[in-house]
Amino acid sequence: MSGGQPETKIGRKCIAVAALLLTASALSLLRPAPAFSQETELRGEVSESAILADQQRKARQLRAQGSQGQNAPAVAAAQDTASTTYQPASPGAVPDDNQAAGASDSIFDQPQATDDPLAATTTPVKPRRPSTAKQRAQDTKAGTKAADKKKARKKAGEATDNTTTASTAGTGSQAEGAAIDDNDGSNRRAVTVDSVDRQKLDPGAERTASIEGRKVKPEDDPFAAPGVKVGTFLFRPSLEQGFTATSNADSSSTGKSAVLSETALRFTATSDWRDNSALITGYGLFRNTVSGEKINDAQGRIDGQLNVDLDNELRAIAKLGYEAAPESASSPDAIAGVTQQPLRQTVDGSLGIEKSVGKMRYALTGAVSHDFYGDAELSNGTTVSQKDRDSTLYTATLRTGYQISPALTPFTEVEAGRRVYDLRTDTDGFQRSSTRLGARAGLELDMGEKLSGEFSVGWLREAIDDSRLPAVAGPSINADLKWSPERGTTIGLTGKTEVETTTTAGESGDILYSGRLTGERQIRANLTANSALGLDWRDYTGSDGHDLILSAEAGLTWWLNRYAGITTRVRTEKLTSNLLGRD
């Protein structure tokens, strides 16, 4: 019996040791092993910082194995397994640097192997939490570095869009994460040099078209002069120099043929203001004889128009003009036997106010026109004064219209005026001042580029103060229309009615009706054809005398470039009259 007790105790100890070994083996199998993907880096090119960190980790492993000795392969295997295990980066979860490299950080770690199989298992050492002061110092240092980086970026003035900022932030986060893993000696994900470039493109992002591939809008007139900027105006001057061969140089009943040199200066100046607008136009024509009848004259005109938008649906239109031209030899008041016809100068201006009230349209316009003449030079060397022909015409016109539609606006006009001569009584003893009255009805059209303008018909009367002279009266016809049947083609129709006064003894004057039908066709971008038909009818008051003037013209303009062109034209004009010596 006594000999059996030791055997029983030894058997129990063996069973206990066997059970303990089985339990430790089961627990070691349950411990999570690092994944193969964590041990192997399956990415592209590795950064230099990642390679350096990997070398440092392997050096620590070798030092740890040498400290355990060559007779403890199990301990070395356990330490190698522990050193390659993923370590969390949170403070206090990993041992300090001065802790033993092979110290276990889990109660489920395998026990260290010893020579005595019956030795008791050593209690694992608990990891020591780093001091609070040390952790606070690390946090302060990290915050200071982040603030310094932010200030550096602000000073550099980096301006990036949302996409670039997101990509940069993502790359920076990966780099910081890799740096933290390197310091802890744990597994990390290497950041490759071309990781950002290899990111997939956003299929929803719109690709910006190339500059060369964008469509350029063609110019309306590629051969138009670019102009010169003068202050707030765009100034477009032009110069024409040419020769004219004519069978009637002075447009008289006794005119002769001649070859003339003609020089024409023209210009337009357009404002580029935001709300209001201004336009200035002018021309000058100079003629000199090369051969044939002696001609040496000049004429010109300048006009300015200002449009101003006022408050309360008011709009003001101001016009001012000046013209100087010699008296035409075909004029009823032309003087025979002169070397040069007297110079006629005209200064005119107007101011109009327009207002819209619902569909009603109102306009009130006041105009002033002053004519004055130079002396006529006779062939015998004497001069004849033309002072008795100087006069000023004052008119006021009231227009009322109703807009049926944006394209149609019928209207009525009432005109009243007074013509005042500088000399109350002329050289023949007649009082030439007169009173003017007129009334018209018409239609205003606004169909865009297709058809625009207006026309009107009515009656015009000018009663002379001298009772011995009858009043000049007759129908009034005015028109200013533009029609474009197709792009590049423009048809124009103009018509006006004028009262022509005279200082001829016993005569009151006449009414002149003038009409022009013009056409322009742009054959090519640099080739333009134009034509015109004219009809003038002059009706003398107090007699059955009349004049009929027919004219026709055709021309062609070829632009070599924006600055030079060639123009050619042919014109014919014929005046027939039932008065002696006027054909």
SS3 of residue 508 by DSSP: coil
CA pseudo-torsion sign 285, 288, 290, 293: positive
Q: Are 95 and 64 in contact (CB under 8 A)?
A: no
Highest mean pLDDT: which range of 76-80, 172-176, 349-353, 379-383: 349-353
Q: Are 263 and 240 in contact (CB under 8 A)?
A: yes
In this structure, how many other beta carbons lie within 10 angstroms of the beta carbon of residue 125?
A: 12
pLDDT value of residue 111: 47
Distances (CA, A) of 257 to 65, 265, 536, 537: 126, 25, 24, 26
Kindly tell me the burial class for residue 341, based on how many C-beta atoms sit within 10 Å of its own C-beta (0-12, 13-18, 19 or more): buried
Instruction: Name 380's Cβ contacts closer than 8 Å, sequence gap at least 6.
Output: none
What does DSSP say about strands 546-559 and 565-577: parallel, antiparallel, or unpaired? antiparallel
For residue 546, is pLDDT > 70?
A: yes
Cα–Cα nearest to 276, from 237, 312, 305, 236: 305
Q: Tell me which amino acid residue 376 is.
A: A
For residue 368, is pLDDT > 60?
A: yes
Q: How many CA atoms lie within 13 A of 540 on its CB side?
A: 17
pLDDT tens across 200-219, in order? 767 666 666 666 656 667 77
pLDDT value of residue 86: 53
380 pLDDT tier (thresholds 50, 70, 90)? confident
Q: What is the distance of C-alpha 145 from the center of its chain?
A: 49
Q: Tell me which amino acid residue 51 is.
A: I
Q: Are 481 and 454 in contact (CB under 8 A)?
A: yes
pLDDT value of residue 582: 84
Cα–Cα nearest to 528, from 569, 556, 565, 554: 556
Instruction: Name 177's Cβ contacts closer than 8 Å, sequence gap at least 6.
Output: 188, 189
pLDDT value of residue 573: 95
Q: Which of 154-158, 354-358, 362-366, 574-578 has the lowest mean pLDDT?
A: 154-158
Kindly tell me the burial class for residue 541, based on how many C-beta atoms sit within 10 Å of its own C-beta (0-12, 13-18, 19 or more): buried
Instruction: Name 258's Cβ contacts closer than 8 Å, sequence gap at least 6.
Output: 245, 246, 249, 289, 290, 291, 292, 293, 294, 295
Q: What is the mean pLDDT of residues 304-326?
A: 94
Cα–Cα nearest to 495, from 472, 474, 473, 518: 518
The residues with which 308 forms a beta bridge, in sequence order, are: 316
For residue 412, is pLDDT > 90?
A: yes
The residues with which 398 forms a beta bridge, in sequence order, are: 364, 414
Q: Which of 207-216, 321-330, 338-347 has the lowest mean pLDDT?
A: 207-216
Q: Which of 31-40, 336-345, 382-391 has the lowest mean pLDDT?
A: 31-40
pLDDT value of residue 81: 47
For residue 381, is pLDDT > 90?
A: no
Taking each helix axis as running N to C, give the angle between helix 162-184 and helix 48-68, from 0 to 180 degrees, rounded to the nearest 10.
20
pLDDT value of residue 174: 46
Token code pair at residue 414: 């009432």
CA-only gyration radius of the chain, Å: 53
Residue 112, H or E segment: none
Distance CA 111, CA 46 (A): 37
Q: What is the mean pLDDT of residues 239-261?
A: 92
pLDDT value of residue 22: 76
Higher-pLDDT residue of 218 and 124 is 218
pLDDT value of residue 513: 97
pLDDT value of residue 55: 80
166 pLDDT tier (thresholds 50, 70, 90)? very low
Distance CA 184, CA 55 (A): 13
For residue 159, is pLDDT > 50?
A: no
pLDDT value of residue 2: 45
Token code pair at residue 280: 């200035």
Q: What is the mean pLDDT of residues 266-294?
A: 94
End-to-end CA distance of the chain: 174
**For 146, phi and psi rounded to 5 degrees?**
-65, -40
Q: What percent of the chain has pLDDT over 90?
A: 50
SS3 of residue 395 by DSSP: strand
pLDDT value of residue 261: 96
pLDDT value of residue 176: 46
pLDDT value of residue 236: 95
The strand order across the sheet containing 338-340 reads 338-340, 376-378, 383-384
Instruction: Name 55's Cβ contacts closer than 8 Å, sequence gap at least 6.
Output: none
Higher-pLDDT residue of 201 and 306 is 306
Higher-pLDDT residue of 551 and 114 is 551
For residue 333, is pLDDT > 50?
A: yes
Distance CA 299, CA 265 (A): 11
Q: Which of 54-58, 85-89, 498-502 has the lowest mean pLDDT?
A: 85-89
Q: Are 391 and 501 in contact (CB under 8 A)?
A: yes
For residue 134, is pLDDT > 70?
A: no
On average, the pLDDT of the chain sits at 79
pLDDT value of residue 211: 61
Asked whether the whole model's pTM tops 0.75, one would answer: no
Higher-pLDDT residue of 286 and 125 is 286
For residue 282, is pLDDT > 50?
A: yes
pLDDT value of residue 178: 43
pLDDT value of residue 140: 61
Q: Tell me which amino acid residue 11 is.
A: G
In this structure, how many other beta carbons lie within 10 angstroms of the beta carbon of residue 367?
A: 17
For residue 91, is pLDDT > 60?
A: no
CA pseudo-torsion sign 324, 329, 332, 334: positive
pLDDT tens across 490-507, in order? 999 999 999 999 988 889
Q: What percent of the chain has pLDDT over 70?
A: 68
Q: What is the mean pLDDT of residues 78-99?
A: 49
Q: Are 575 and 548 in contact (CB under 8 A)?
A: yes
Distances (CA, A) of 569 to 95, 237, 552: 105, 21, 11
Walk me through the domains of the chain, giving residue ranges and CATH numbers. Answer: 31-149 (no CATH), 231-365 (no CATH), 390-583 (2.40.170.10)
